[in-house]
Each structure stands twice: as C-alpha cells, then as structure tokens.
Copies of this chain bind each other. A is one copy, B any other.
C-alpha cells in the first residue's frame, strides 16, 4: 500500500476557493524570494569545511529533538535512536537500524509540523516519490545515503540551492568564532553571521558558570574581577562578534524578568555571583539586571536583542543524567512580560535605537501582553511564533491574536530557529504559505485590499526580517 509522496502546490491554503485563489496569487509573489534566516542554530563548521553529512540518521534523526521526543513519548528508548550519552556509553550505532525504527513510527507525526518539514526534505531535497513507511525504510535510507555522498549535498551547495541570502548561527562569548573566520577567508560568497548568546557567562545557574567566567575574562582580555571589567569583557566580545557579522544578541532566560540596579547594588551582587554559587533569587536578579546592561550596549553598538524566555529546561532528570541538555525535555511555563520588562523599558523602552524582539511559548500572552506592548513601545518588536508554535496552527493563532493590536509592522518576519539544515526551506515555505493564507482571508473578507496584501506578503517573507535584524 505504498502511496506516492506528493507536495500539493496548494498545501496549507484554505480550502474555500476564492480565498485559496488569493492565497495562491500572494504566494506566487514570495515563493522564490531568497531566504533570510536571522536566528538559528546551524553549525558554522558545516560551511567552513564543507564536508559531507555522515548518514541519514545522523543528519535527520539523531540531532532533531522534535523527532526523537515524539518517538520517546511513545515508548521508544533514546538509546535505540542513537542519541549520544553524557558518559560516552554506547547507544545504537547502526544508522540503518535507527532509520528503520524511525520509519516504523513515522505515523506518529501525522498532523505535526515535523511531518511537513520532513516530507519536504524527502520530496524536494532528495526527490523521493513514495511516502515513508516501514516498507520503504530501506529505499529511503539508500536514496538519502547516496545523495549525501554527492557534491550537491555538501553544505555550501545546499546553501546555494536553497536560495539562502544570509544565515545567522548562535555562539557563546567563549567561542573563538574560528569557523566564521574560515568562512570569510575562504572566498565563498555565502553569508554566515554569528549572534551573541551570552547565557553561559550571564546566567549564574548555567553549567560550569564559574569556569565560564574565567574563560570569558581570558578570551576577552579583560580582568573580570570587577563588574566594570566584566562589562568591558562583554563590550569587547560584542565588538568581536560584530566583526564576524553579528547584528544581534540572544537571551534564553527562564523568565522575562529585568532589573535596573544601582551601581553599588549590582557591584555587590556581581561580587557574590563571582564568589558563587548564589541562590535562585540572586541568579534571577543578576540575569535581569544584565538584560538591562545588554540593552544599553545595544543602543551603543546597534545590536538587536532577542529574548526567548519561559522555558523550564531539562525537566526530566533521568534524561538529563544520561543524555544531557536539549533532549526534548524542555517545557514551557506561564509567561508574564508587562511587569517583568518594566525596569528595562523604563530605561530604554522609548529609545528607537533599541530593538528588543520578544518571543513566547505561552500563547495567551500574544494578545494579553505582547501585542499591547509592541503596539506602544518604540523599542519592542514581536518575534515569530517560536518552537512548539513554529507550526501552521501556531502561526495562524499568532497572526490572529497579535495583528489587530500590534499591526504587521511591529512583527519581524520569520525565524527558522533550527539546527536541522535541510528543513530550512521547508520551514520558510510553511511560514510564507501560512502568512499568505492569513492575508488571503483578510482580502476575501474585504478587510484588506489585494495590493496591500501583496506588499505585506513580501514584507513578512523578506523585508521585515532584513530590517529588524539589520541584515
């Protein structure tokens, strides 16, 4: 019962025929625009050294927490999926066995965005013409493995084939940015920029924080024994990141809490943080104050800030102990921004030189807080639907709940936010289709003129990301 794998040209468009016709026309105008990927987690080493990807499982399953968390939730052990362990004890090493296990459970992804992305990768990137199921597992494995051995599937070739104009990676201040240097010096015309993610040296609860701080001082060439030196280290590393193309910073905090302490208070707090360890309240206070310092530096150096709050990281201690962080056990918690951001906004919210892009995993906050905030403060913009909400329904709810209060122009286009390189065009494709579907409904309901919708579709697919992220 093998079925053909077909990506329908009208996929994700509303079924109602007038609306679908409008959506099609809008999409035709943006389908082939270059991809601007201002926030993500691809590995710069791929583009620096342009080596082939290892095998189908290592490319598409083992590193993709969307994929293995779903299988895990249905009782498939992470060991059997080849997820590497913290202590190096072996897990499944046969990529074909991993692939077959994945194929056995592919029906679990029905109705999920992973299914949309993966089917795009199979059909468009690899040209496979039948659906994935147990009977076609080996066919898939062989086809993908063979493709990966070709020049056409090297990272740079894919970058070019995917029509990427610019892609941002995300690095710690402790990263020497060597891969980015290699890329720049290689003469390749691809544009791979970094982004400054200082959590490892800004979050007293980060693993290895004390050691991170020492390395931070060393790499920055600053004495971080004082708060002034610590701030200079940030300024130094930010300058280094900007030289490597960075236009943004990123902050993955447990909450959106900010603070604006007096100089004396923050110096005293920094001393305690440096002596460490501090308790959760002081850690939160330090992170919160440092967001305000980051905003100040952003006004000075022009880097755009991104805040991704509201995640309870590594919720599952057994998975954390055996497999480490980022293994699908991160969970959203309730969001609050209006009170949390006030200290930062009191200082810098009215300064149009600052752009602070807000993300949430608590959708109730879209209409309750985020759209009202972004519809007032010049410094605020709304990031696209994030993580679990980077999905057709998530995108629809975001536009429906945020647009009426914040408008379209306080949003910043799409982020793919992924390390799954092959899925990047699929993710932008979903976003473009869903934005066109939303705009088409507004046109079909006579709430927007069609020429305006075309202009907006272009803005949402391309212009707003370039502008907000200064790319």
Q: A residues engaging B (CB < 8 A)?
A: 1, 3, 8, 10-16, 18-19, 69-70, 72-75, 107-113, 116, 131, 312, 315-319, 328-329, 331-334, 336, 338-339, 342, 345-346, 349-350, 352, 361-364, 367-369, 371-378, 380, 388-389, 391-394, 397, 400-401, 403-410, 441-442, 444-449, 451-452, 455-456
Contact = CB atoms under 8 A, between A and B. Distances in A.
Residue of A113, A376, A378, A392 with most chain B CB atoms under a 10 A cut-off: A376
- Total identical chains: 3
Given A312-B338, A388-B404, A405-B112, A329 B376 contact: yes
Contacts of A112: 403-405, 407
A110 B456 contact: yes
Contact of A441 (B3, B15, B109, B349): B15
B15 A15 contact: no
Nearest to A377: B73
Given A369-B331, A394-B404, A316 B377 contact: yes
Given A74-B409, A110-B448, A393-B404, 11 more contacts: A15-B19, A15-B444, A69-B376, A73-B406, A107-B409, A111-B448, A116-B447, A312-B339, A316-B377, A391-B404, A397-B400
Nearest to A14: B445
A405 B386 CA distance: 12
Contact of A10 (B331, B373, B393, B446): B446
A310 to B, nearest CB: 9
B346 A338 contact: no
Contacts of A11: 445-447
